[in-house]
A and B are shown apart, each in its own frame.
Chain A
Amino acid sequence: MTVETADLAELRHAFDFAFAAPPAPWVEHLEDLLMVGVGGSPYAIRVSAISGLFADRRITPVPGPIPELLGVAGFRGSIVAVYDLGALLGHGRSSQPRWLVLDSGSPTMGLAFDTIDGHLRTPFASIALAPSTGGAHGAMSHEVVETAEGVRPVVGISAVRAAVEERTKKFDHTRKR
């Protein structure tokens, strides 16, 4: 039996076993994370903080109150504003971010980034507060998760949303004046 045939047999066995085994008990103290690349740096995003993951969505540029706004995109009949996550985290504008997540807030907000490195299910204990770096950017990634490849900052989606809303309000207030 060759190596390739052994790999195929292992893959088939694992697939079959997943449906043959009884359902695994739900473990409450585990957190699902998306491993992403933003502006060339590794980050993590809580799955519980997003409502969807998409790739290669067409983004229509529109003028906006803040420069991090890339444009708008359609999702199941809804128009969603899409922001450049890298620019919001202080890495500058990405050229053409391929991936996009929708947050779970309302109205829904899209955050675009460059790459997906994978999925990670990790215990809550592996997520800790990051050393305080101060500033608006530090507030948007105030947690870190320890992975096999190293420590990744965890993007706080709610903090990002709050920052965007705050800057938008400031713009509106300035414009009303």
Chain B
Amino acid sequence: MLSRQSFTQKVGTGFGVAVFLIAVAGAVGALSLQHAGASGFTVAVFIAVAVLAAAITAVIAFLLTRELGRQIGTAVGRVQVSSAELEAAAGQQANGALEEATAMSEVTTTIQELLVTSRQISDSTQRVAAIAEETAAAARSGESTIDQANVSIGVVRRQVDLVVHHMLELGQKSQHIAAVLEIVSEHAEQTNILAINATIEATGAGESGRRFAVVADEIRKLADRVAVSAKEIRVLITDVRSAVNTTVMATETGSKAIDAGSSQFGDVAASFKNIQDLVSATTEAAREIELSTKQQTTAVEQVNVAATDVAQASRATEASSSRTRLTASQLASLSKDLLQLVSAKAPG
């Protein structure tokens, strides 16, 4: 590298030599005129011209050197400005590449998490599909059970109808028994009246009617017992009829409950069918989700690879930009030195 001081010294030396040569040419010419003859005059002129030419050459060289220094300074100034701009641009590019590499690193991390999540979703969807198939099987089993229960309810319904029929027959027979018992009671009452009147007649017959009075008394007692038994039977028949009515009402209530239950079983069967259809749709949807998720996982894996590549490229760009900035910095420093060197040598 040409230092500023040596450059100035050399330019100054060139200028001094030129002045000295001009002075020497003048002195030589003068001396030659004083000490030479005519031939000598020619030599002296020649020497003076030579010295003068050398002086003019030196002046021209000085002027050329100054112009050249100025142009070089201008070019070096431009190089310095460009180097600074290049350095700044390289710095910005390095920073951007660094930020981009950092962002891509974060993106890569996020994509990896997304990849894990996608795989979990895929696994969950597989489990959902399996559970949906099990649920569909359970719904089919429930529908079959409902059918069997309907058959059983039909049997129970027929048995209940039979019970109601027998109970109604029992109630009718109880009514017949009550009617017959009413006749028995009527006979007992009439027998009692007859016995009392026999007692009255026996009492009126005096001594001769006493034995008849005993018989009449026994008949009356018998009628009383029959009447008491008839009352007890009437109470029992009333209880039986009440029980029959209660049983009929209970069985009718049960029959209605069975009807309602049968209807509800129909609803339950329809619900099971609906569940089965919905579960089938769920299974289909789960399979589609599983397939989409797998595709999504593959795509995410590809994106992850691409993002990793981009991050690596960003880091390479950041490194290259750093090197460019360093080179630009060195170029700027060199331009500055050169500019100072040119500025110091150039006159004026």
What 1/0 mask marks residues of chain A from 110 to 128 whose CB sits below 8 Å from any chain B CB? 0000001011010000000
Query: Known contacts being A23-B211, A51-B204, A55-B189, is A34 close to B196, with CB within 8 Å?
Result: yes
A48 within 8 A of B: yes
The answer to whether A55 touches B193, judged by C-beta atoms less than 8 angstroms apart, is yes
Query: Known contacts being A32-B199, A118-B224, is A7 close to B229, with CB within 8 Å?
Result: yes
Which among A11, A19, A23, A119 has the highest number of chain B CB atoms within 10 Å? A119
A18 within 8 A of B: yes
Contacts between chains A and B (CB distance < 8 A), count: 46
Residue of A nearest to B225 (CB): A11
What 1/0 mask marks residues of chain A from 42 to 76 whose CB sits below 8 Å from any chain B CB? 00000110111111000000000000000000000
Taken together as a complex, chains A and B put the C-alpha atoms of A50 and B193 apart, in Å, by 13
B287 within 8 A of A: no
CB of B200 to closest CB in A, whole Å: 6
A148 within 8 A of B: no
What 1/0 mask marks residues of chain A from 18 to 33 whose CB sits below 8 Å from any chain B CB? 1100011010000010
The answer to whether A32 touches B203, judged by C-beta atoms less than 8 angstroms apart, is yes
Which among B197, B211, B220 has the highest number of chain A CB atoms within 10 Å? B197
Taken together as a complex, chains A and B put the C-alpha atoms of A50 and B225 apart, in Å, by 24
Taken together as a complex, chains A and B put the C-alpha atoms of A102 and B52 apart, in Å, by 203
With a cutoff of 8 Å between Cβ atoms, the chain A residues found around residue B54 in the complex are none
CB of A51 to closest CB in B, whole Å: 6
Query: Known contacts being A7-B229, A118-B224, is A50 close to B218, with CB within 8 Å?
Result: no
Taken together as a complex, chains A and B put the C-alpha atoms of A52 and B186 apart, in Å, by 18
The answer to whether B193 touches A119, judged by C-beta atoms less than 8 angstroms apart, is no
Residue of B nearest to A18 (CB): B218
The answer to whether A19 touches B211, judged by C-beta atoms less than 8 angstroms apart, is no
The answer to whether A47 touches B225, judged by C-beta atoms less than 8 angstroms apart, is no
Taken together as a complex, chains A and B put the C-alpha atoms of A48 and B214 apart, in Å, by 15
With a cutoff of 8 Å between Cβ atoms, the chain B residues found around residue A24 in the complex are 214
With a cutoff of 8 Å between Cβ atoms, the chain A residues found around residue B193 in the complex are 53-55
Residues of chain B having any CB pair with chain A under 8 Å? 189-190, 192-193, 196-197, 199-200, 203-204, 210-211, 213-214, 217-218, 220-222, 224-225, 229
Q: Which A-B residue pairs are the 6 nearest by beta carbons? A: A18-B218, A26-B210, A53-B196, A23-B214, A48-B203, A53-B193
Residues of chain A having any CB pair with chain B under 8 Å? 7, 11, 14-15, 18-19, 23-24, 26, 32, 34, 47-48, 50-55, 104, 116, 118-119, 121
Q: What 20 additional pairs, Cβ within 8 angstroms, besides A47-B196, A51-B204, A119-B220? A: A11-B229, A14-B225, A18-B218, A18-B222, A23-B211, A23-B214, A26-B210, A32-B199, A32-B203, A34-B196, A47-B203, A48-B203, A51-B200, A52-B197, A53-B200, A55-B190, A55-B193, A104-B204, A119-B196, A121-B217
